[in-house]
A and B are shown apart, each in its own frame.
Chain A
Amino acid sequence: MTPPIISVENLVTYYGRHQVLKGVSLAVEQGEILVIMGGSGSGKSTLLRHLLGLHAVTSGKIEIFGKNIQTLDWREEQEFRRNIGVSFQGGALFTSMTVGENVRLPLQEHSRLDEQTIAIMSRMKLEMVDLSESEDLMPSELSGGMIKRAALARAIVMDPKLLFFDEPSAGLDPVVAAELDQMILELRDAMRMTMVVVTHDLDSAFQIADKIAVLDQGEILQIGSVEMIKQSKHPRVQALLQRQIRTTQFDPDEYLERLMSGSGRK
């Protein structure tokens, strides 16, 4: 059996004294789309940043492509970066470069391909995200949805084996969001990409996910297929699916402690 592309074991992390992830474990198989769902402050962005190797873990282990990403040497780190693509929520485009220059940049930095090949590859990706006429525009001239699509084009320009996608549909109109979902599925099928998508868009999650991990207050409440999550009896999972307001226990003493010393969160 082939090992999973991503394996996370008992991941624990703190911001200061605040425990953000409380022992997260999950696995993502080759060609699978894992959707990480959760409300604001659930720890999903922190988990994503850990998977990208951007934070040191407090304890636990993250293996990607069979290697512990905390202990990669320089060469392994370069290979890891070549094999992943990231589409950040805000786009993270270089504002001093055109859209085309942004999309071409990873290929120019990480490959030795001919410039003509690079130009064709980047234009193919701009075509895929329907931005072919925006190649010469600056990021400041794009709408929010166009920035997101340009960021996706850049993320996939090297045909990564593993694509991380932070909030693909946030800020997009429903039609464009649905088209993007379709493209995510086509990319997985045609390019055999494995994907981790962070979203709180239920429709999108149910459309694209092979597996959904529901994260809440730093813990995975449940991980399973779309059907399993839809039929979950877990009250917090159901609350998230039905957009219920969460009720947390109110501790007056702890609240006073927070107001007085600012260190009430444990």
Chain B
Amino acid sequence: MECQVSQQQDDIVIIHVKGEVDLCTSPELRALILQYLKKSKSVLVELSAVAYIDSSGIASLVEGYQLSRQHQLTFALISVNKTVASVLKLAKLDKVFQIYPSLYDWQQHHSSSQ
């Protein structure tokens, strides 16, 4: 797994995840998510290049989402590919997370709801 972090204006952080998220690699993703939720108002996780994600990876996303709700922050998943979408559906989380097809879609939704 490789994670790259990009910062947008307005205190938005995007974590781009690539490769396999499994028992060995998911603690790194979890640490990144929790770390950026402590210092940014909005954390987006971009998942288009994920080749595999197991439930430890999904659990890291759940933790991030829960933390964001506790502190009234924004946490969303963007560009969720088919691999990730099927695991989210299996875990019955596809209706729980805020999921957007792209950063643009999230921005559109975010600006209209403000």
Measured CB to CB, the residues of A under 8 A from B are 111-114, 116-117, 120-121, 124-125, 127-128, 157-159, 186-187, 189-192
Contact = CB atoms under 8 A, between A and B. Distances in A.
Given A127-B92, A128-B91, A117 B54 contact: no
Chain B residues touching A, range: 20 to 34
A33 to B, nearest CB: 16
Interface of B: 22-23, 26-27, 30, 52, 54-56, 58-60, 62-63, 86-87, 89-93
Contacts of B59: 117, 120-121, 124
A125 B22 CA distance: 16
B43 to A, nearest CB: 17
A158 B26 CA distance: 13
A111 B90 contact: no
Contacts of A111: 23, 56
5 contacts: A114-B27, A124-B58, A124-B59, A159-B56, A191-B87
Sorted from nearest, which 6 A-B pairs have the closest CB atoms? A120-B59, A159-B54, A190-B86, A190-B90, A117-B59, A121-B59
A117 B56 CA distance: 7
A111 B89 CA distance: 25
A117 B91 contact: no
Contacts of B27: 112-114, 117
A186 B63 CA distance: 24
B54 to A, nearest CB: 4
Contacts of A127: 91-92
B62 A191 contact: no
Contacts of B22: 159
Given A112-B27, A124-B58, A159-B55, A117 B90 contact: no
B88 to A, nearest CB: 9
Nearest to A158: B23
A163 B79 CA distance: 30
Nearest to A189: B86
A125 B87 contact: no
B63 A128 contact: no
A157 B90 CA distance: 13
Given A113-B26, A114-B30, A117-B30, A190 B87 contact: yes
| A112, A159, A189 — most chain B CB neighbours (10 Å) | A159
A116 B22 CA distance: 16
| B55, B63, B92 — most chain A CB neighbours (10 Å) | B55
A124 B87 CA distance: 11
Contacts of B55: 121, 124-125, 157, 159
A121 B63 CA distance: 11
Contact of A124 (B86, B89, B91): B91
B56 to A, nearest CB: 6
A117 B26 contact: yes
Nearest to A192: B52
Contacts of A116: 63
A193 B107 CA distance: 36
Nearest to B27: A113
A179 B91 CA distance: 15
Contacts of B23: 111, 113, 158-159
A81 to B, nearest CB: 13
Given A113-B27, A114-B30, A121-B55, 12 more contacts: A111-B23, A120-B59, A120-B62, A121-B58, A121-B59, A124-B58, A125-B55, A159-B22, A159-B56, A190-B89, A190-B90, A191-B54
